[in-house]
Amino acid sequence: GDSVTQTEGQVALSEEDFLTIHCNYSASGYPALFWYVQYPGEGPQFLFRASRDKEKGSSRGFEATYDKGTTSFHLRKASVQESDSAVYYCALGDLTGANTGKLTFGHGTILRVHP
């Protein structure tokens, strides 16, 4: 079945550091790829998606580019802030059918940003 692998379980950075969270996927079809963010005490929130090869998704200074060749969708941000501390989930899903909420999530990456 489909799967998503996030390499980092936890990432600790200082403010203004560059962030990369690695996400690789395995899917039989041509899935859409997503990033969700979960702040403490809240549910996960949609960050952005990309639906085709080489498409870049972005929001709030975060970005990721769909790479079908390497089956990756790595999350990057040039300069993190303490307020970015959260859990980040990579996910995939099929947007072509009726069941577009059937997302397969990665385990999540805990980001801690120190002032």
CB atoms within 10 A of CB 41: 5
Residue 66: both structure tokens together: 């769909």
Stretch in the footprint of another protein (CB under 8 A) among 53-61, 69-77, 78-86, 88-96: 88-96
Q: Does 77 bind another protein (CB under 8 A)?
A: no
Q: Does 86 bind another protein (CB under 8 A)?
A: no
Burial of 87 per CB tally in 10 Å (0-12, 13-18, 19+): middle
Among 19, 21, 23, 32, binds another protein (CB under 8 A): 32
Residues 46-65 that bind another protein (CB under 8 A): 46, 49
